[in-house]
Amino acid sequence: MKQAVKTQLFPSKAPLEWAVIGNGTLYTAQIPIDAQGQVVPGGIEAQTRQTLDNLKHTLECAGLGLDAVTQVLIYVTDRSYLATVNALYAEYFQAPYPNRAAMVIAGLAREEMLVELVVYAAA
């Protein structure tokens, strides 16, 4: 059984929920969109910060904090972005850090997106 987490994030036109909880785990994927559903300008730093802010908001809507995150899968479209992502990530997460993996990929669902996070958290 799964339960959708209601957020204030821009409603997706795709058939998805921003987060669901099932079997005691929150599952979410976060992208760098603003309240109007637009990918934020400003490069990897602005996009990473927006993505992490969206994650924090989603967790709060589920009654959780960043300390509940157990695993993060990071997707970036250029290897050079990882240093910026790591620096900002360290502003949001504290030890013990979530387990994580980082992948450099050819592209994301929206061409202008540079980063996406897939996150699992203990609910």
**What is the CATH topology of the domain spanning 2-122?**
60s Ribosomal Protein L30; Chain: A; (3.30.1330)
2-39 tens-digit pLDDT: 999 999 999 998 999 999 999 999 999 999 999 999 99
Taking the C-alpha atoms of residue 60 and residue 115, their distance in angstroms, rounded to an integer, is 21
48-83 tens-digit pLDDT: 999 999 999 999 999 999 999 999 999 999 999 999
CA 28 to chain centre: 7
Boundaries of every domain in the chain: 2-122
DSSP β-ladder status, 115-122 and 99-104: unpaired
The pLDDT value recorded for residue 4 is 98
80-95 tens-digit pLDDT: 999 999 999 999 999 9
- C-beta of residue 117 within 8 angstroms of C-beta of residue 72: yes
The pLDDT value recorded for residue 55 is 98
Taking the C-alpha atoms of residue 26 and residue 67, their distance in angstroms, rounded to an integer, is 13
The pLDDT value recorded for residue 2 is 96
Which of these, 104, 101, 51, 50, lies nearest to 77 by C-alpha position? 104
The pLDDT value recorded for residue 89 is 98
76 contacts: CB under 8 Å, gap ≥ 6: 44, 82, 85, 102, 103, 104, 105, 114, 115
Q: Find the mean pLDDT for residues 109-115.
A: 97
Helix (H) or strand (E) holding 87: helix 82-92
